[in-house]
């Protein structure tokens, strides 16, 4: 099967150049001119790898990478002129698999692409899902849209990240510390009051009967679970 690569860049000349170089090596190419298109295509066509420019208007590469990681483990190589260590760390923390500085040669990019694909093939697991449905709750990860019984629900960014933790780990018990670390950051791992308030708000918005929650349940002495 032909390996499919999504190339994302807002500069048409650079987009054509990278695409042509990879196409010459036998890869099938998808193209996106901005971060929003990249998220849409990643969800709809599940490419094998994404080559993602960082500096783009509206939704930059960092934001696009973060959105794609909400629903997909597709390998991502970020391309950028931003060579500061903080930028590289941010890229890897958001889930990028490699970070290539401009300018680079066609042979360097090709070597990086093949290396990332080899690692991905060794670690391949489940087919990524772009949507989640359970008990009347539906999440469209690509559009960051949540509905309950077909009705759109408005969530804050923190509430949405918290909900993603349960959706990604449904059927598993999550401790309060895990949720605080993953949603707010390690410096909040002891701030249990924040978690209690946020889960209460989430239940108010999602549950038919927030006093008798069915979507996000509390396991006494253990944590929380989406059963």
In this prediction, residue 122 carries a pLDDT of: 66
- Note whether 2 and 26 are within 8 A (CB): yes
3-state helix, strand, coil in the chain (%, to 5): 45, 20, 35
In this prediction, residue 186 carries a pLDDT of: 72
pLDDT band at 128 (very low <50, low <70, confident <90, very high): low
Residues with Cβ < 8 Å from 203, sequence gap 6 or more?
Answer: 210, 213, 215, 216
pLDDT at 208 over 60: yes
Q: What stretches of 46-95 show up as alpha helix (H) in DSSP?
A: 61-68, 85-94
Helix (H) or strand (E) holding 194: helix 192-206
Q: Which residues pair with 6 in a beta bridge?
A: 30, 50
In this prediction, residue 129 carries a pLDDT of: 67
In this prediction, residue 48 carries a pLDDT of: 93
């Amino acid at each position: 099967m032909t390996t499919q690569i999504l190339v994302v860049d807002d500069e048409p000349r650079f987009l054509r150049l990278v695409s042509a170089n990879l196409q010459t090596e036998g890869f099938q190419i998808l193209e996106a001119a901005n971060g929003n298109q990249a998220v849409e295509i990643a969800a709809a066509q599940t490419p094998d790898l994404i080559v993602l420019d960082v500096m783009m208007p509206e939704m930059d590469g960092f934001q696009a990478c973060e959105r794609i990681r909400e629903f997909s483990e597709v390998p991502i190589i970020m391309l950028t002129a931003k060579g500061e260590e903080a930028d590289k760390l941010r890229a890897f923390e958001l889930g990028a698999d490699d970070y290539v500085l401009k300018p680079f040669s066609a042979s360097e990019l090709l070597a990086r692409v093949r290396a990332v694909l080899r690692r991905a093939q060794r670690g391949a697991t489940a087919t990524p899902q772009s949507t989640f449905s359970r008990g009347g709750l539906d999440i469209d990860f690509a559009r960051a849209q949540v509905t309950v019984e077909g009705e759109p629900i408005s969530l804050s960014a923190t509430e949405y990240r918290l909900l993603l933790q349960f959706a990604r780990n449904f059927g598993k018990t999550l401790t309060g510390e895990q949720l605080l670390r993953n949603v707010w950051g390690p410096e909040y791992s002891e701030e249990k009051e924040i978690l209690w308030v946020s889960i209460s708000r989430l239940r108010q918005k999602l549950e038919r009967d927030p006093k008798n929650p069915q979507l996000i349940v509390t396991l006494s002495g253990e944590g929380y679970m989406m059963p």
